[in-house]
Each structure stands twice: as C-alpha cells, then as structure tokens.
C-alpha cells in the first residue's frame, strides 16, 4: 500500500532520516518505535508532504507522492492524527469533527460517518456541543483520532496517541485503534509505548538516530531479548547494548 524507499529528510542542515526503507501492507497495523529524536515524527511529516525528502521516493497505491502538496496527499487517503492532538480548542467537539471532513466531496454521507465515529467514541457524542479545549486529555486524543477518521482515510497515521495519558485511557485508545483497523483502515502507528504498540501491530520497525535498526513481525520483536531489554523494560543479561 505504502512504500518508502531510501528516504532522507532534513531540517535545514540537520539530516534526520538517513536512508529509511519501510513497507506497509493494506489492512495491517504497522508500528514505528524508537526513543525521542529517532526520527519517528519526521517519517510521518515526510509521508504527509509537510517535509520534502532530500532523496528517495514514496509510493502510495502504486503512485509516487513524494514532493506532492499535503492537501493532495490527504485527498488520496493518507490522514494524520498529529502528536499533541492539535485540536481546535475554541470550537465544539462537533465543529472539530466537521472540519475533519472538509476535503470530502460526499457531503451527504457525513452524518452517517458521524454516527460511526460516535460508535467508536461514545463520549464524543455525549460532549458533541462541549468546547473541545475543556475536554480531558484522553477525550482530546479521542477527538484528534476521530477528526482524522472523518476524512475517510485509507491509511490512518497516528503520532504518539498514548502520550501523557493514564494507563487505563491508553488501553481504551489502543482497543479503539484495533477496532478501526478490523473495520478496514490500515494504520501506521508511531509510538514510544512499545509494549502497547507491539500488542496490536502486525509488523514493526525500530528506529535509532534516523536509521531502521531492526524490523520484523510484532510477535517476534516482542520476544526478542534486545527489544525486551531496551524497549519493554526487561533485563539485558551479559549485554552492553544501550
């Protein structure tokens, strides 16, 4: 569905991605894991068209999209829920959701899709007329994901959906992500919470300083001793890997 081939991206003179190759199959949940500064968000920004790669190419559904404007990429079905949520705090929940659908031409189906969103996130139905800035952190994260879904993505990109949330809320968010995927939306998940991400992903890539240092089926990575030691809080007997 999506291929990144030897992608390099920079901010000014600082090269952040140093030859990234990633593939996402339709229907999968693919996780990108790594510490702060590894380049996870930069990958999403490059896919979204917010950052033009220095080299390499990106193909989506067989069509090359690197260098295309973000609004065109969204219209093709790639939608991002950004780190930090970035909802419109002065607007109501419902107004935020309707903004998510602004690129759509099938306006007659928007109310039907609102019902689907409210199925995933019943609390948003209860709070649809509430000002978004007054929601709890977990509710704001739900709203950010729901707003992205209103664009009817083929590929939903989630940037740190668990950031700053209580464990109970994190579990709830990840259950919803799994349900969204089971209903046909491919998911690219950027996360520091490796344990939760690997629990729902089919495949995962691990980044360090702009490079893919490990990849594989999520189940295999979950059982890998180095991954357990570095990302899942396990012990690292006889190893000096940091």
Tens digit of each residue's pLDDT (9 = 90 or more) over 112-156:
889 889 989 999 999 999 999 999 988 998 899 999 999 999 999
Chain centre to alpha carbon of residue 175: 15
H/E element, 97:
helix 93-100
For position 239, what pLDDT does the model report?
41
Distance CA 178, CA 13 (A): 38
Instruction: With a cut of 80, say whether residue 237 has pLDDT above it.
Output: no
Residue 105: is it exposed, middle or buried by C-beta count within 10 angstroms (0-12/13-18/19+)? exposed
pLDDT tens per residue, range 41-81: 999 999 999 999 999 999 999 999 998 999 999 999 999 99
CB neighbourhood size of 120 (10 A) = 17
User: 14 forms bridges with which residues in the sheet?
Assistant: 11
> Phi then psi for 224, rounded to 5 degrees?
-75, 130
For position 242, what pLDDT does the model report?
33
CB 191 within 8 A of CB 160: yes
Tokens of 155: 């590929």
- Give span(s): CATH 3.40.50.300, the chain: 1-74+154-161+186-236
pTM: 0.89
Q: How confident is the model at residue 234 (pLDDT cuts 50, 70, 90)?
A: low
H/E element, 186:
strand 186-191
H/E element, 32:
strand 29-33
Provide the Cα torsion 199, 200, 202, 204; round to 10°. -60
pLDDT tens per residue, range 173-232: 899 999 999 999 999 999 888 889 999 999 999 999 999 999 999 999 988 888 888 777
Is 1.10.287.610 the CATH classification of the domain at 1-74+154-161+186-236? no
Mean of all residue pLDDT scores within the chain:
90
């Amino acid at each position: 569905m999506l291929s990144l081939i030897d992608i390099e991206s920079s901010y000014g003179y600082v090269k952040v991605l140093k030859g990234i190759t990633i593939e996402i199959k339709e229907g999968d949940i693919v996780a990108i894991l790594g510490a702060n500064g590894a380049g996870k968000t930069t990958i999403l920004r490059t896919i979204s068209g917010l950052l033009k790669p220095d080299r390499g190419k990106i193909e989506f559904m067989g069509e090359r999209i690197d260098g295309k404007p973000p609004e065109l990429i969204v219209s093709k079905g790639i939608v991002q829920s950004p780190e930090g949520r970035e909802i419109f705090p002065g607007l109501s929940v419902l107004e935020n959701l309707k903004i998510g659908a602004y690129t759509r031409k099938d306006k007659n189906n928007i109310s039907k899709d609102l019902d689907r969103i409210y199925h995933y996130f019943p609390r948003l139905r209860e709070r649809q007329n509430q000002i978004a800035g007054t929601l709890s952190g977990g509710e704001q994260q739900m709203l950010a994901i729901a707003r992205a879904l209103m664009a009817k993505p083929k590929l939903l990109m989630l940037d740190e959906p668990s950031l700053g949330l209580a464990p109970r809320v994190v579990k709830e968010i990840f259950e919803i992500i799994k349900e969204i995927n089971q209903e046909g939306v491919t998911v690219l998940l950027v996360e520091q919470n490796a344990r939760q991400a690997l629990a729902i992903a089919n495949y995962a890539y691990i980044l360090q300083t702009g490079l893919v240092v490990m990849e594989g089926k999520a189940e295999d990575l979950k059982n890998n001793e180095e991954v357990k030691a570095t990302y899942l809080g396990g012990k690292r007997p006889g190893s000096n890997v940091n």
